[in-house]
Amino acid sequence: MRFPTLLSLVREHNILFIRGFMILFLSCITIRLNFCISSIPSSLKTLPLEGYINFDEVGHAARDFGNRYRYHPMAVVHPKSVSDIAVTIRHILQMGPRSQLTVAARGHGHSLHGQAQAHGGVVINMESLKVPEMQVYPGNSPYVDVSGGELWINILHASLQYGLAPKSWTDYLHLTVGGTLSNAGISGQAFRHGPQISNVQQLEIVTGKGEVLNCSLEQNGELFHSVLGGLGQFGIITRARISLEPAPAMVKWIRVLYADFTAFTRDQELLISAENAFDYIEGFVIINRTGLLNNWRSSFNPQDPVQASRFKSDGRTLFCLEMAKYYNPEDTDLANQEVEKHLSHLSYIPSTLFLTEVTYIDFLDRVHVSEVKLRSKGLWDVPHPWLNLFIPKSQIHNFAEVVFGNILTETSNGPILIYPVNKSKWDNRTSVVIPEEDIFYLVAFLASAVPSSNGSDGLEHILTQNKRIIEYSERGLIGVKQYLPHYNTQEEWQDHFGPKWEPFLQRKSRYDPLAILNPGQRIFQKATNLLMTTATI
């Protein structure tokens, strides 16, 4: 009887020893981890920067235009030079995978889902980067060299002094170059010139290794194409060379309405394939919007005021085709003739033709006027649960029937844009993912939510609608892709990229091996294993 008792004592002694060892081991890890975390700020403080790093005023870097996600960084770097960005990234890289520090480049903070945020990491304030000084190069193939943190509105003002302007735009110009080029940059000129990423000649990139590399079609071509539309996963854009073209002085801005979706899309597709037609083509959806034409009268003139005053929507869903013709004053007669000729081929409701003439800069910066009004009413800094989709031409009618006919009951929460673009104007070597068909549509649900509302204008209601639209698109349609994509799992990202996923993984491993860059996209987590492989990114 004594032997079992002795054996039990030995076992109990061993168990207590193992427990004590584990407690001591975990305590050492905790102490070491706490020491590492507490030492991070002091190590960052020693960085030899021309600019400065702030550990206190970081709250602004935890917000964005979407106004739904808030992840506070540990620090915000305000770089004065490209070297400041490279030094910061190299320092974090050298700390290895144990530090957990990540880096996010933040431009004007117009992201929607916290993509420019870095929880407990370092945010690079790209608007502080003012080098190189913007310089326009006129000539046979004009271009402008700009910082990745420069706003497009500033590029417009600078290039117009030489009678030049970039070819492709976004609807809102108070965005940074690096921000839009990391996505695509699309507006009503994309059918002709492609997105903004199709109009870039050169880039300067700081990779996830802290390397500063110049890239173009001829030099570091893989990195060049990877970064364009690459969602900030391969490097930070610190300089870009943007193609320019002669800028017009004036714009004929036209809106017409359709009650028939088939006629609406047929005319849009006709115009994007026509020569010398319009320079800008977009459209938007109008559901249960009364008094719409009266709202337009303050800035647009009806061609036939009497007929326009008699127009009644009768609760129908309407589709607005929006067009712009660029011209110079000396070519006014020719521009009028071309506008009249192309309008004569369209099947819009005759009484709904509205026209106005504005300067080129006023047309391009038109959204900023709305921003000023919304800010004055306190309606700008609200949640923006936007959803942007690329819909193949073959699927657009089924999409419209279900979404505009059943899921949505009104469009009072914000505009719904819909317009076609030509796939031939997009470079498939870039990282952006688009449908395979020759023509596809951008459909953008640009809603603003009332924070305190539980009704149809509340955040939860709009998110529920978005979810229904996404589920229908993924289940019932073929080839639909998100623009400005947002997913929560790597499996969803893999489905999004499709055949591009493996090259995307390989490039991530090559240019950002520890997955330091832009964690807010939620594609990768920072590596926690020194033996990095593609499979463990």
Active site residues: 110, 171, 282
Query: For 12, what's the count of Cα atoms within 13 Å in the CB-facing half-sphere?
Result: 6
Distance, CA of 6 to CA of 45 (rounded, Å):
59
- Residue with tokens 């924070």, as numbered in its chain: 451
SS3 424: helix
Count of residues making up the chain: 537
Torsion over CA: 145, 146, 152, 155 (sign)? negative
Give the residue from 380, 283, 382, 383 showing the smallest Cα distance to 324: 283
DSSP codes joined into one string, 273-286: HSTTS-SEEEEEEE
322 phi, psi to nearest 5 deg = -115, 125
392 phi, psi to nearest 5 deg = -60, 150
Q: Which residues contact 179 (CB under 8 A, 6 or more apart)?
A: 107, 108, 110, 111, 116, 126
Distance, CA of 301 to CA of 362 (rounded, Å):
17
Give the residue from 94, 115, 111, 92 showing the smallest Cα distance to 102: 92
Q: Strands of 170-316 (E only): list them.
A: 200-207, 212-216, 235-246, 250-258, 280-286, 301-302
368 CB-contact burial (10 Å; exposed 0-12 / middle 13-18 / buried 19+): middle
Using CA atoms, how far residue 102 sits from 45, 75, 295, 371, 527, in Å, is 16, 11, 47, 32, 10
